[in-house]
Amino acid sequence: MSTNIARSRAKMTTTKADLSKEATPKVQPEIQPYEKPMKWFDGLVLVPGQNETRSLIDQDPDLENWDWYLNARFKHFQQSLEKLKTIYPGGLDEFSSGYLKMGLVLHDDNSITYTEWAEGIIEASLIGDFNAFNPSAHLLKHEIDEHTGSSYWTIHLPVMENGQPQIPLGSEVKIRITLPSGESLDRFPAWVLRATQSQNPPEVLFRARIERLPPIYNGARPLAPRTPKIYEAHIGAATSKPHAIGTFEEFEKNVLWRVKAGGYNTLQLMGIMEHPYYASYGYQVSSFFAVSSRFGSIASLTSLIDAAHKQGIRVILDVVHGHSCTNDMESLNMFNGTRGMYFSEDSKGDHPIWGTAVNQSWTGNYGQYFSSDTDHAGVEYFMLANHIIKTLFPFVTTIAEDTAGFPTLALSTDIGGLGFDYRLTLGPAYHLFHLLKTEPDDANWSVRDIVASLGNRRLQLGEKTIAFVESHDQCIEGGKTMSQWLFDDEIYTQMSVFQTPTPKVERAMALHKMLRLMVFAFAGEGYMNFMGNEFGHPEWLVFPSVQNGFHTTHCRRQWDLADFSRDLRYRDLARFDREMLEAEERGQWGSAELGHVWTQDEDSRLVVFTRANHLFIFNWNTKLPAKDDNLPIPEPWALEGQYRIELSTTSGVAGAVVNDLNKLILQPRSAVVISTLMELSA
């Protein structure tokens, strides 16, 4: 599960070596002390001297000023957790199984129960093509939950005498609600599992459909990998056809094997929830429990997941909490005639950049991490969700997309953290693309700034990171991919392996490899890549919209460009990406603590560091090779022995065994990963 959290700034700590001291200093914004007590914590009793989150502060002394808040947050979370266990007889399992009783539930005996939460209305009925949209045919009964006081509307439809359900599978369904004013509104059932939009004839609005829940998966699941190697994919754009939208079935048949062959152990699928506007990439969600019908059925998605599991590939679904479609007729917006049921009534309920509604208690604008501006309910939601997931499904991995280094984000809820396993950090990609945009000549890049930016994370505090060079953000229209920045126009004219490479192509090939290796080896405990970028796909994704006449021509991935038979340089980039992942699998350095940064020199432009008994050497010099006195090999690697070149950004070097690293020569713009075949002294 990947989700979205705060997009503010905060002071971040560095890795084992205090890298930031040698880099260009950056001014951190001053954070004002919070006011206490805050309304969210009204009634909370804290005993002086009893702080169960003290370990957070012991790990990160910068949190000392917010000890009261961290303790109060943890206590409030514990109380909410106990309240849930008290309210629901089945405990957390029952609480988290709302999909079994909410919405349209088609039971095994073909009877149907429909239940909807709706406050502030006076009447509700179930309508659809099955009853000619007659609001008098299936009136819902109003009930008040004895535990929560919430207002529910429900109806039970017994199975017919012929054994068939009263509402045929696939029928269109809506809920018609009547407001106290007498006004009637037709709305999508909030928990609907299926929504469709006809293309022939074309329809503007989606239609909610009754769907049967798929059977619970009982097959074998791959274990959590030591180091996640994540392949991010968009199903619709994963097709190679120029005038089509990709499907789950097509991905399973044509793409999944490429993910496996490329060395990736995790598949992350974005844009899975139903969204009316395709060009939103899945970030304007209308139905949070429905699979996007553009890509296929629930059954075809589960088939893809099952196939991935059989190949040892885990699957992560990108869960979009922070963006909800504002179309009243096909989303949660204005469900009961007001914004307040599912969203904040004020400006906090709007996301002006995306034109979406922000789900109340799910995300917010964090002006500060620990203040009255913090969305306390949103933070606690993540804590509760992660605790429930880890309690009921301990094999599940959760990842939070994070731009700011939110403190305690990837620490266990047992000690007061938010409970994610990893943070997906956007910092390295932002820094590298900023370099490409503002300084075209890599001879002027500061190697210390690169090291400081990539090392600026909270690993020493126990929080693990997924790093990447490019995600989907860098590959959508309006941006440029790494390969587009590096190759420029020659990406279309100079990619044949039979052509003598131009200086621009040589530079692009080298930096495309070096930047990926540097990010994976230095910036995280896991690695992510967006589909096609591993081989430098020559185009960004242009989703169909009004502006381009709804064409899908450039919303695809041309996988065959990297096939060996095409004799294009893309295959060399794909091969290096695979070799990099394989080298990590052999050396297991991705999950190890970062060792020592021996060299980060602006004059020689060398970066040398160790990790998991491996030596990493990067020569960022654009003209001079690194050798002899200009290649400082750290002790004890300088001693003669047996060393193996595990990976090299230049061809024909990997796999070689050398006895004396002092005789090593690194060409300009190149990098190597070296292992030792003997025990090294400290």
DSSP state of 263: T
* Same domain membership, residue 619 and residue 515: no
Task: Dump pLDDT digits (tens) for 49-101.
Answer: 677 888 888 888 878 888 888 899 999 999 999 999 988 888 899 999 988 88
- Give the tokens for residue 589: 């350095």
All residues at 6 or more sequence positions from 203 whose CB lies less than 8 Å from its CB, including other chains: 197
Specify the CATH number for the domain of residue 609: 2.60.40.1180
All residues at 6 or more sequence positions from 245 whose CB lies less than 8 Å from its CB, including other chains: 236, 239, 278, 294, 295, 552, 555
In a domain, 346, yes or no: yes
* Same domain membership, residue 602 and residue 578: no
**Averaged pLDDT of the chain:** 86
Using a CB cutoff of 8 Å and minimum separation of 24, what contacts does 26-31 make?
A: 31/368, 31/369
* Same domain membership, residue 122 and residue 261: no
In a domain, 264, yes or no: yes
* Same domain membership, residue 381 and residue 252: yes
Distance CA 147, CA 86 (A): 9
* Same domain membership, residue 245 and residue 380: yes
pLDDT bucket at 34, cuts 50 / 70 / 90: very low
Distance CA 53, CA 48 (A): 13
Specify the CATH number for the domain of residue 142: 2.60.40.10
Provide the domain count of the chain.
Answer: 3
* Same domain membership, residue 316 and residue 188: no
pLDDT at position 17 is 35
Task: Dump pLDDT digits (tens) for 448-495.
Answer: 999 999 988 877 678 899 999 998 888 876 678 999 999 999 999 999
In a domain, 641, yes or no: yes
Task: Dump pLDDT digits (tens) for 382-431.
Answer: 999 999 999 999 999 999 988 777 888 999 999 999 999 999 988 899 99
In a domain, 52, yes or no: no
* Same domain membership, residue 447 and residue 418: yes
- Give the tokens for residue 290: 């429905």
Provide the whole-model pTM.
0.90
In a domain, 359, yes or no: yes
In a domain, 296, yes or no: yes
pLDDT at position 427 is 87
Range of the domain at 546: 229-587
Distance CA 404, CA 390 (A): 25
Which of 176, 209, 242 marks a domain boundary?
Answer: 209
* Same domain membership, residue 389 and residue 249: yes
